[in-house]
Structure 1
Amino acid sequence: MPTMNMIQALNSALDTLLTTDPDTLIFGEDVGYFGGVFRVTEGLQAKHGLTRCFDTPISEGGIIATAIGMGAYGLRPIPEIQFADYILPAFDQLVSEAARLRYRSNGEFEAPITVRSPYGGGIFGGQTHSQSPEAIFAHITGLKTVIPSNPFDAKGLLIAAVECDDPVIFLEPKRLYNGPFDGRHDQALKTWAGHAQAQVPDGHYTVPLGKAAIAREGRDVTVLAYGTMVHVALGGIEESGVDAELIDLRSIVPLDIDAIVASVKKTGRCVILHEASRFGGFGGELSALVQERCFHHLKSPIARVAGWDTPYPHAFEWDYFPGPGRLAAALRRAMEN
């Protein structure tokens, strides 16, 4: 199997879909001739033509509205929103149309669209290029939200998302596209060095949505994470010296609650890690679900390690990020109880 980084794996997934399914097409800002700002769609327009991979005006609402119409018609569009922060102008289309179309039409129409978008920090992008809005989408019944942490999963999850008949928000962690962007700062991802590239099969394969992976087995604490934070968690676990089990959720909707419960019942402790702000973050939902199902097995309070409850701080983003040290401290506190 060829060795790929996440950008190459995602490009391979899109190439596979365009080759095998004539109903798929890709569009968005700069995804055609330019190949996308992160080059995920590089070469696809030249290979598959102007009608299968093309540029759009700078109109996120128009991009998503067009995709919904195409999906209702029977196509499987893969629109790209250049940064996850830019999805908000299309939020009404996603909530009021895509997520509800099957119910509102009594099953006559569907919206099988997969909205790809780079998300999270790590490139000094500031408040308009670095946010982590996954909890917003997880709250909307009818949308699925997927966040890969490695190249193999990225390709398999993307193909599975496009083949799903529901609208999917597919968030791609920018810090993981090529590995750490800035070695002076990104010591948090030292464990990523061994995962920045992986063997990824050519052609078609899928990773099922809603199926978590055990990224590290352990007996004392369960750590729940996804995307970039999986690798931050590995660093934090190593720093703490705690024998923690790490669950890579891979998708937050659908959520593999069975895998979470099995792990927490085994360890008796749970620490939740995500990059987004703590208040209102998806960690709060995870905490509630664990408490409801594992209360009598818990040996210590459920802990959350997350971003600051502030607007995204451009100049201080490496302090804003939950790093290995913050997770290590939370793991040690969990073991004190």
Structure 2
Amino acid sequence: MKAKYIEKLDLPFLISGALCFENQAQFHPRKYLLKIAENISGNDSQIYEHTRAVDIEHDNLYTVITDTGFKVTASKVVLASHFPFYDGLGLYFAKLRPQRSYVISAIIKDELPNGTFVDSGKAGWYFRSQKYKDGQMIIIGGQEHKTAHGGDMIKHYVNLKSYAEKNFNVEKFLYRWSTQDYITIDGVPYVGNLTSTSENIYVATGYGEWGMTNGTAAATVLRDIIVKNESPYQEVYNPSRKILTYGIKNLVKENFDVAKQLIKGKLQVGQYNFDLKNDQGKIVEIDGERYGAYRDKHGELHIVDITCTHLGCELKWNSAEKSWDCPCHGSRFSFEGDIIEGPAVCRLNHYKESDNTIDSNII
């Protein structure tokens, strides 16, 4: 892809310089997926929503087990579930780093040039314009950090708003949201056979914040591998590829952090005080055991076990999303214990004040 260097941009602030990649496209991801979905149903193909795959059994064929007990049998299986719900000794929990980032949108009085703009600095700010009703809004993102390592999560939205107010003539803030991505140890997605010995089970993961483009590329690579038995890009994306020095350093760093979080979480002591305000959560200690407590907007108290059901790390409270997040591998749970993000496939035990299960099960 050709690039050119430019010194000026028609932005409301000065820049030192920029690399410009022309002929880029912006498109609506949901509309894109809905159109693809229209072409999938029928011809012996179905889409099942609200159905979580939790395991795979292998005999002559593969059988995908779901959380409802429903089973799907196939000769070939593709794991495209963000984080693979089935590891198959591929050790993906050790080769992927969960990362969260934040986005806000606003109406501004400035006119922005067409394009998507990314700051090359450590802050990693990015922004672009988007049609909104009869006008346009700006979408601003950044503030990346490893899942459950960002301190008070609300501050990231505050920082985004401060950046917007500093650089643009903001008229009104509209929306905010966050997302989770998985980053591979060498920055290249894992696309291909789940392991070097698994012939008919495939994986696509680790898109590194470029899901729309990498997801489409992954589909092309897997199609060629399955249909043609080869792809010109399969060695580049091979999940079992040789790890270079850069990747080895990241592998050691990430798994040292996992070990540290596992030990640290077990040693930390929770608070005895249940004096929670509405919409507030924290870790509490009951009879020497640590639990997660959250009082919802209606004043009802919710208690959950905060040992992650994936590999046993201790969860942390996410004040912005009202969730319990795993600092090791990125599993996330609602305050009622339901799974929001994998790799966990089992929910947390949940005790609610209204059905008297808090007194009978914990205290």
TM-score > 0.5, shorter chain as reference: no
Larger radius of gyration: 2
- Normalising TM by the smaller chain, what interval? under 0.3
TM-score, reference length from structure 1: 0.23
Q: State the TM-score, normalized to the length of structure 2.
A: 0.22
More RCO (CA 8 Å, sep 6+): 1
* Larger proportion of strand: 2
